[in-house]
Structure 1
Amino acid sequence: MPANGIAPATYLFAARALRDFGDGFVAVLLPVYLLALGFSPLQVGIIATASLLGSALLTIAVGFLGARHDLRQLLLAAASLMAATGVAMSVVHDYALLLVVAFAGTVNPSAGSVSVFVPLEHAALTRAMADAERTKMFARYSLIGALASAVGALAAAVPDITAPVGLDRLTAIKMMFVLYALAGVAGGLLYARIPRRRAAPGPVEESALGPSRAIVFKLAALFSLDAFAGGFVVQSLLALWLFERFDLSLSAAGVFFFWSGVLSALSFPVAAWLSRKVGLINTMVFTHIPSSIALMLAAFAPTLPLALSLLLIRAALSQMDVPTRSSYVMAVVTEAERAAAASFTSVPRSLAAAASPALAGVLFAASYRAWPLVVCGALKIVYDLLLLMQFRHLKPPEER
């Protein structure tokens, strides 16, 4: 990375760590909190859908604003929204108001990269990167986020161990949402240190999609299928499945999601290494398919240890497409199109991911608890095969 890109990247990495730490424990605590307030699994799924739909619409706004406004200011606004969301979640009990907070705020039930922050950070990071370093940079970015998310998942057990200090479980969960708000404030302080700079220099129209429009639209459609599939098993709903299927405790769930996050994190540098050997598309496809098979098998596992083992195998493989996917999108479009491409491929993903948690909630309510995992795995395999067929011949610059 060029010297003038080192400091901004460091701040972005640190802010990503804080945000994903908060997302890590919120994704596990969200269903517990909503159930404790007296809401049903179907209502939990609707809250998850509302949050993902709101993120999608915010990302659409970022797509229009990113070419016209300083990325630093947009990131500061997003961090402020995160702080406000944490405070609101800690004090609101009415279901209708919680829907509004989930829709308008930054609650992330997936504990993953479906977030208004992502296209802004991608554009800010990529502009200082050489082609040869791009995938490694995205691997580091994803690694830091995944490790922070894993620690956050472990922190989700805090409400179960607060009885000795006099806090009941519900109050402790509310305090965790306050901690989420504080992570947003700290992230804003880091974003404030990024130099002011437009996402793409020159007239606004130069930042719009041009020669790469067809490529971006095809990728966006395929990524939407992948995200729609993933929405059936966002982390909050996977936690709900474990709670209801095996009566897993909150402390045990926190430990499981910690190790799941660690395995995902360790897979990112492996993905960067593997992509240099077999290519970005092959890395995405041939690590994704086995992970989907493991998820489908977990749906029918008769015992908790077997289910957790299969889910850990899935965790070790399923996220290897994250840095490679980000790198591939940035590689196959022109420099002037990168900010727009990041947004146009994120928005359909967010919209598609928003639709499926409510459907999963319906299946949970109807006692078809295994079906969300099966549907997720099957659709992801279809996505992988289509991606391979459509893009195996379109190579990024470093592979030509």
Structure 2
Amino acid sequence: MSRVTRWSRLSTRLRPEWSDRNLTLVLAARTAMSAARALAGVVAPVYLALDGFDAARLGALFAVVAVASAVMATAIGLLSDRFGRKPFLVGVPLLAALAGVTFADDRSTGVLFAAAALGSFGRGSGAGAGAVGPYQPAESAFVVESILPRYRNVVFGRISFVSSVGALAGGLLALMAPSRRLSGQAATAAFGDVFLATAGLAALAGFLAVFIVESRPERAPVSLEPDGTRRHGVRRLRFALSAIHLPRRSRPLLYRLWVTNSLNGLAIGMFGPFVTYWFFRRFDASAGEIGALFAVVNVATAAATLSAAGLAKRWGLVNTVGVVRSAQAALLVPLVLMPTFEAAGAVYLLRMIVQRIGLPLRQSYVLAMADAEERAAVTALSNLPSQLTMAASPLLAGYLFDEVSLSLPFDIPAVPQGLNAVTFWVFFRHAPPEEERVPAEPVASPS
């Protein structure tokens, strides 16, 4: 193979033909935001536990965060279809940055609850690359509108890959957290720099999004009264908001997603926010040790995100999602049976490899099947039931952690997550995305 050919292949891998300036900025911003989310996911639960939060109180905080995120994600999905995606790609990371600064400087319970809700602190663990916060419907819709359908699975795999890279960085930054047990003002002082690092990464994500160039969405003529005069102020805003509506053409898809996502949200809400807390309580692991584990997980799972498109091409997207969701459910049971931190970490690693394959494919499928003018709204509304069940289940999980056992909140979710895999396959096995549909044979005209 000639040197020119090798260089050409390397260049194609580093900058594929679907890549452009906007997508490069989206990937860079996603990397920074994933690092911020991962870092917060490791240190926030440990910090709050050291500051006196028991599992029930943590569950209440996670429930508040889930409700706030559900409201924000739904609003962003509806508004971004009408007013564009960029304002939310810039603004929401800045809210997370503000939350990080607040955590670094304030210990009062009410302020911490408000900051966590504002910044979506408590959404998943440090190994949960892929969750960037409530602006994800706007980000996903923007990406789909920027690429051809045949590149969709590949691009979402690349997004999950850079999320893993960002989460890896966030896990390593968690080593900044103190390894010894602290409480009160000492914990606030020791964890302050870590939360400021979280704020800096989130602010960087918002800053990068400033340079995205978005085509202005088509708008109805909202500035004119029926007599031809211009609308101003509240009347103009009210008329603009009246053009926002729930998805109509994508409604059958939305109803099915509500069923599958409600089951998944019930499962994730019980164990997802508590993964860091579980390692902390079960094995007395420090924030640094948990962050190091999550860093290893993100290194090992990065390749899995890039393999997702190939598996979907071989097995079919819906079949692949069904298989990996079933495996995710099954692996919850052996996870809690492991006797050591290292053994539990190994099972958790295997589960996250499986999860990383399914995540971009599921996101890709929803956006492929939704009507082009309703993508962000469908993405947001399809996740609304799961976010509501995620808001309720942490309260039950917190009670079980405190009063029953450390393993039951991880055993119970295996059932709804298994049902999620079954219902997703049943609902969508006969509805492949565009790139998997076999074109009809042309009918020969009679001679």
> Which of the numbers 295, 305, 322 marks the counterpart of 1:258?
295
Corresponding residue of 2:22: 8
Specify the structure having the higher radius of gyration (Cα): 2
The reply to whether residue 42 of structure 1 matches residue 56 of structure 2 is yes
- Say whether the 8 Å CA contact 2:96–2:119 is kept in structure 1: yes
Partner amino acid, structure 2, of 1:77: G
CA distance in 2, matches of 1:381, 1:162: 39
Shift of 1:176: 1.2
1:284-339 CA distances to partner (integer Å, 9 max, x unpaired)? 11122123212211112233333222111111112321110111011112212212
CA distance in 2, matches of 1:87, 1:360: 29
Partner amino acid, structure 2, of 1:273: G
Q: Which region of structure 1 is more displaced relative to structure 2, 134-143 or 217-226? A: 217-226
> Which of the numbers 218, 240, 245 marks the counterpart of 2:282?
245
Evaluate the alpha carbon distance shift between residue 38 and residue 195 of structure 1 in structure 2; reply closer, same or farther with a 3 A threshold: same
Identical aligned residues as a percent: 27
> Which of the numbers 267, 270, 293 marks the counterpart of 1:229?
267
Q: After the TM superposition, which residues 155-304 of structure 1 pair with which residues of structure 2 at under 5 Å, given as runs?
A: 155-160=173-178, 170-198=188-216, 200-203=217-220, 208-234=246-272, 236-304=273-341
Evaluate the alpha carbon distance shift between residue 182 and residue 240 of structure 1 in structure 2; reply closer, same or farther with a 3 A threshold: same
1:215-265 CA distances to partner (integer Å, 9 max, x unpaired)? 12211331221122111122x411211121122233221111112223333
- Say whether the 8 Å CA contact 1:81–1:106 is kept in structure 2: no
CA distance in 2, matches of 1:306, 1:341: 40
Shift of 1:149: 0.9
Evaluate the alpha carbon distance shift between residue 50 and residue 285 of structure 1 in structure 2; reply closer, same or farther with a 3 A threshold: same
CA distance in 2, matches of 1:126, 1:5: 12
User: 2:431 is paired with a residue of what secondary structure?
Assistant: coil
Evaluate the alpha carbon distance shift between residue 49 and residue 208 of structure 1 in structure 2; reply closer, same or farther with a 3 A threshold: closer
Corresponding residue of 1:135: 153
Q: After the TM superposition, which residues 108-119 of structure 1 pair with which residues of structure 2 at under 5 Å, given as runs?
A: 108-111=122-125, 112=128, 113=131, 115-119=133-137
CA distance in 2, matches of 1:309, 1:232: 21
CA distance in 2, matches of 1:300, 1:313: 15
The reply to whether residue 357 of structure 1 matches residue 363 of structure 2 is no
- Say whether the 8 Å CA contact 1:291–1:313 is kept in structure 2: no
CA distance in 2, matches of 1:201, 1:223: 31
Shift of 1:207: 7.6
Shift of 1:346: 2.9
CA distance in 1, matches of 2:431, 2:219: 28
User: 2:171 is paired with a residue of what secondary structure?
Assistant: helix
Partner amino acid, structure 1, of 2:100: G
TM-score between both structures, scaled by the size of structure 1: 0.92
5+ residue gaps, structure 1, are none
CA distance in 1, matches of 2:367, 2:17: 21
Corresponding residue of 2:12: none
1:47-102 CA distances to partner (integer Å, 9 max, x unpaired)? 12211221111112112311222321222221221121111111221112211222
CA distance in 2, matches of 1:49, 1:174: 24
CA distance in 1, matches of 2:28, 2:411: 36
CA distance in 2, matches of 1:131, 1:2: 15
Shift of 1:206: 8.8
Aligned length: 395
Q: Which region of structure 1 is more displaced relative to structure 2, 96-105 or 326-335? A: 96-105
CA distance in 2, matches of 1:299, 1:3: 44
- Say whether the 8 Å CA contact 2:18–2:151 is kept in structure 1: no
Partner amino acid, structure 2, of 1:275: A
> Which of the numbers 143, 164, 171 marks the counterpart of 1:125?
143
Shift of 1:161: 6.5
Partner amino acid, structure 2, of 1:320: I
Corresponding residue of 2:35: 21
5+ residue gaps, structure 2, are 1-14, 221-239, 438-447
Corresponding residue of 1:59: 73
CA distance in 2, matches of 1:262, 1:354: 30
Corresponding residue of 1:387: 424
Partner amino acid, structure 2, of 1:75: L
Shift of 1:24: 0.7
User: 1:39 is paired with a residue of what secondary structure?
Assistant: coil
Evaluate the alpha carbon distance shift between residue 303 and residue 84 of structure 1 in structure 2; reply closer, same or farther with a 3 A threshold: closer
Which consecutive segments of 4 or more residues in structure 1 shift more than 6 A? 1-5
CA distance in 1, matches of 2:31, 2:16: 22
Shift of 1:31: 1.5
CA distance in 1, matches of 2:20, 2:214: 15
TM-score between both structures, scaled by the size of structure 2: 0.83
